[in-house]
Amino acid sequence: MDNALLVGLSRQVALHREMDVIANNLANLNTTGFKGESVQFEEFLSSPARVDSFPIGHRRVSFVQDRSTMTDHSQGPVEMTGSPLDVAINGEGYLVVETPNGERYTRNGSLARNATGELVTSEGYRVRGANGPIQFDPNDVNIAIARDGTISALNGNQIAERGKLQIMRFDRPQNLSKEGLSLYKAGNMQPQAAGEKTSVIQGAVEKSNVKPILEMGRMIEVMRSYTSLANMMTKTDELRKTAINKLADVSA
């Protein structure tokens, strides 16, 4: 009976973790560049039996173990904003931004110019170009961003090139570490330049790839599983109490 309660508890802990992940996905439905997550579980086997007379099938108890959280890096829907500095990446790849903790990567293309004319993210981090930060002139107008990420602007009567967005890709993007604000840390992985299949869409952003209907369905499923386990554990505990009371009534 103790094993049944412990196995049920391990599953409840896993379900609690899964509910946290689902809630976070739903909370970021409208976060630009957000990538949904899912929890991966595995079987953990324990062998509490110590007497060789136990049948082999009864010697191992299967628990639920929270193995990891996986990020879905598939592309989200593109939404047109009309802002000339907003960009959406069509295909694989990430913008490179400079943060106080080093280079980070993002799909959040909601960009702007700061007070000194540099291209920055909505959080104020500088966006790296192929040759360093992208700098605008105060008189720049009619900013254009080509499909390959080249940025140009009309300055007076001349068109001036201001840089080219640095878009990098990874062979195993699932190994990127989330750091909040739609930023990712590469760790020991080496980025590579995105290929020709990747293009930039000006005046648009990539929305969250979370599918609300699927997440709500997962939430209902987790709630039902948690409730079912709670009922099972309550009945198991009542059965144990009944067994103890009956054994106490037996004459020595």
What local confidence, expressed as pLDDT, does residue 17 receive? 87
What are the φ and ψ backbone dihedral angles of 207, each rounded to 5 degrees?
A: -85, 175
**Domain identity same for 147 and 166:** yes
Same domain, 88 and 188: yes
Return d(Cα 111, Cα 125) in angstroms, integer.
10
What's the pLDDT at 9? 76
> Residue 88's beta-bridge partner residues?
201
- Structural domain including 110 reads 78-206
Q: What is the pLDDT of residues 86-125, one digit of tens each?
A: 999 999 999 999 999 999 999 999 999 999 999 999 999 9
C-beta atoms surrounding 79 within 10 Å: 12
Tell me how many domains the chain contains: 2
| Same domain membership, residue 192 and residue 238 | no
pLDDT for res 63:
60
**28 and 83 part of one domain:** no
User: Rounded distance, CA 15 to CA 8, Å?
Assistant: 10
Same domain, 151 and 89: yes
CA–chain centroid gap for 52, Å, is 47
> C-alpha 236: how far from its chain's center?
37
- 191 and 91 belong to one structural domain: yes
- Residue 83: what pLDDT? 95
Q: Are β-strands 150-155 and 141-145 bridged in parallel, bridged antiparallel, or unpaired? A: antiparallel
Residue 14 pLDDT:
82
Residues 48 and 147 in one domain: no
**Residues 90, 40 share a domain:** no
- Give pLDDT, residue 1: 45
User: Which of 190, 206, 222 is where one domain is finished?
Assistant: 206
Q: What is the pLDDT along the chain (252 residues), one digit of tens a residue?
A: 456 677 777 778 888 888 999 999 999 999 999 999 998 765 555 555 444 544 555 555 566 666 678 899 999 999 999 999 999 999 999 999 999 999 999 999 999 999 999 999 999 999 999 999 999 999 999 999 999 999 999 999 999 999 999 999 999 998 999 998 899 999 899 999 998 899 999 999 999 999 999 999 999 999 998 898 888 888 777 777 777 777 767 665
Same domain, 217 and 150: no
Question: How many helices, marked H, and strands, marked E, lie in the chain?
Answer: 2, 19
**Quick one: 87 and 129 in the same domain?**
yes
> Do residue 66 and residue 83 come from a single domain?
no
Q: What are 214's two structure tokens? A: 């699927």
